[in-house]
A = this chain, B = another copy of it.
Amino acid sequence: MIRAGVIGATGYAGAELVRILSGHPDAELTILTSRQYAGVRFDSIYPSMSGMVDLVCEEFSPNDVCDRTDVVFTALPHKLPMEIIPELVKRGKRVIDLSADFRFSDVSAYEAFYQPHTAKDMIEKAVYGLCEVYSDKIRPAAVIGNPGCYPTSLLLPLIPLLKSNLADPDTIIADSKSGVSGAGRSPSLATHFCEVHESFKAYKVAEHRHTPEMEEVLSREAEKPVNITFVPHLVPIIRGMLTTTYASLTRKVSPEDIRDCIASFYEGRPFIRLCPDNRMPDTLNVRGTNYCDIGFRIEERNNRLILISAIDNLVKGASGQAVQNMNIMFGTDETAGLAGVPFPL
């Protein structure tokens, strides 16, 4: 059994890690930490799991964590992970970090959008954990920078088309829509039920900090600098993210060409589902799952491709992909712990 710890277990991403790892056939949850809830039973904070999880949250202590784990998931706000991860790695732990701290190869891009980086030498050891694209590098990695939710939803459908030169990298516009759980558990006016329930709006228009994360990966895959336009919106649902991506096609192609391009790129990958032509992705269908559903449409008159992808922002967009990374790193079945049958509604 892989002994797993979750640092920051009581936020939404942390709690989702606890859910998945509690049901994982090859892993055992050994330690949960929480600054706010140290000393409190986890299942009193998330009573849905009463009777399933009996751990008590602890203050973070490197010794305790290292003694009891093989892999550590850090589900903390940006900046905290880079302060604690070097010590964990030095002591031989493998770390999967859900913040942005280890997602960038280019530290200056990170620093432009976040803050000064205090563990620069660790960046080289870190691998961007987009499982379906970088599994070879993930397998031996010491540190995983687990991708952001928006990047996951954009990159998975787009990368095959960029790599095969079907989509023009200079024309990419991504219009994303996220459920409210992406904003985290801390109460704020922005997540107040009454402000959200009958509201739809854009936010951080063309200035969200997931943009440089996406651009670094796209530039790497396109082998040229890629600038995109990215606008996120808030949808009044709990879980779910849908990204509608627009790109000009570089040449005349048929729907079959697009379908083949995506299907062959992801052949054998269990969590990519390509929708049939007569159906488009719906967040409902991926709710609670690690799937990324992908659909597309070619608009011939404008020679544009429209890509649509749906994920659960807390699963494939965060904790599910983190566990998938663990599975790849430890050589277990990639779907272990992530194979529950999805709800019909």
Contacts and interface: CB of A to CB of B under 8 A. Distances in A.
Contacts of A114: none
A219 to B, nearest CB: 13
Given A177-B177, A284-B48, A297-B205, A196 B193 contact: yes
Interface string A74-96: 00000000000000000000000
A112 to B, nearest CB: 13
Interface stretch (A59-67, A156-164, A238-246, A250-258): A238-246
B202 A242 contact: yes
A39 interface: no
* Count of identical protomers in the assembly: 4
A236 B238 contact: no
A306 B198 contact: no
Interface in A6-21: 12, 15-16, 18-20
B180 A23 contact: no
A30 interface: no
A49 B200 contact: no
Interface residues of A, number: 89
A35 interface: no
A1 interface: no
A229 B202 contact: no
Contacts of A200: 177, 179, 235, 237, 240, 242, 282-283, 310
Contacts of A299: 206, 229
Contacts of A308: 202, 205
A191 B270 CA distance: 31
A235 B342 CA distance: 22
Interface in A309-345: 310, 340-345
B344 A48 contact: yes
A194 to B, nearest CB: 5
A225 to B, nearest CB: 11
Contacts of A180: 193-194, 197
